[in-house]
Amino acid sequence: MPITIKLLEAPDIPLLTSPLSFLNSNTTASYFNDLLAEHDSGKRVVLVAYADDTLAGFVTIKWQSDYPHFAEKGVPEINDLRVLPDFRRRGIAKALVGEAERRIFERSPVAGIGVGMYADYGPAQRMYIQRGYVPDGMGLYHGKQPVVPGQDVPVDDDLVLYFTKERR
């Protein structure tokens, strides 16, 4: 199955928001239009992956991260990696992250990434570690706030551990 990675274009947006696509969970066409506008302004890169002729996933690069530790150090963040369930375990995520890293390492010696902390994120957690990412040492964050000892926080998509990888 050949994988093609390309930059997001407006004609891709209906494919990302089709009723059959998991990629539209909690997202609308306006979300992807906003991503495209950030891409066009240079704030973000949005990459889409096609397997054969089917849109299979996407990822973004945020040149200025919202995560405070990355922002203060100027670490670009790989963000919002999603792959359709039918295309998982076929190398799509690895190809998207690989292309994102290639682009980041042209501009920065470090790439950052955040990953959720419940079981649905297990494959991503393993992939990032296998690719050489290590925790950034700042602990868990919920939203954009550090989790402090004894604090109760929901285990949801906002509970994140951030990782970095240095260019080799």
Residue 28 pLDDT more than 80?
A: no
Question: How would residue 20 be classed by pLDDT, with cut points 50, 70 and 90?
Answer: low
How many C-beta neighbours within 10 Å does residue 13 have?
A: 19
What is the Cα gyration radius of the chain? 16
Residue with tokens 């240079």: 42
Structural tokens at position 23: 């990629």
Residue with tokens 């959720």: 116
Amino acid at 155: V
pLDDT digits (tens, 9 = 90+) for 42-92: 999 999 999 988 889 999 999 999 999 999 999 999 999 998 888 888 899
CATH 3.40.50.300 matches 3-166: no
Question: How would residue 37 be classed by pLDDT, with cut points 50, 70 and 90?
Answer: very high
Contact 48, 125 (CB under 8 A): no
Structural tokens at position 54: 């089917």
pTM tops 0.85, yes or no? yes
Amino acid at 132: G
**Lowest mean pLDDT, pick from 59-68, 79-88, 99-108, 133-142:** 79-88
Contact 92, 50 (CB under 8 A): no
Q: In what order do the strands lie in the sheet with 44-51?
A: 3-7, 44-51, 54-62, 77-83, 110-116, 159-166, 134-142, 145-146
Question: How would residue 26 be classed by pLDDT, with cut points 50, 70 and 90?
Answer: low
pLDDT of amino acid 18: 75
In 3D, which of 135, 151, 164, 139 has the Cα closest to residue 65?
164
pLDDT of amino acid 19: 63
Q: Which DSSP helix (H) or strand (E) runs through 31? A: helix 29-41
DSSP code at position 63: S
Question: How would residue 98 be classed by pLDDT, with cut points 50, 70 and 90?
Answer: very high
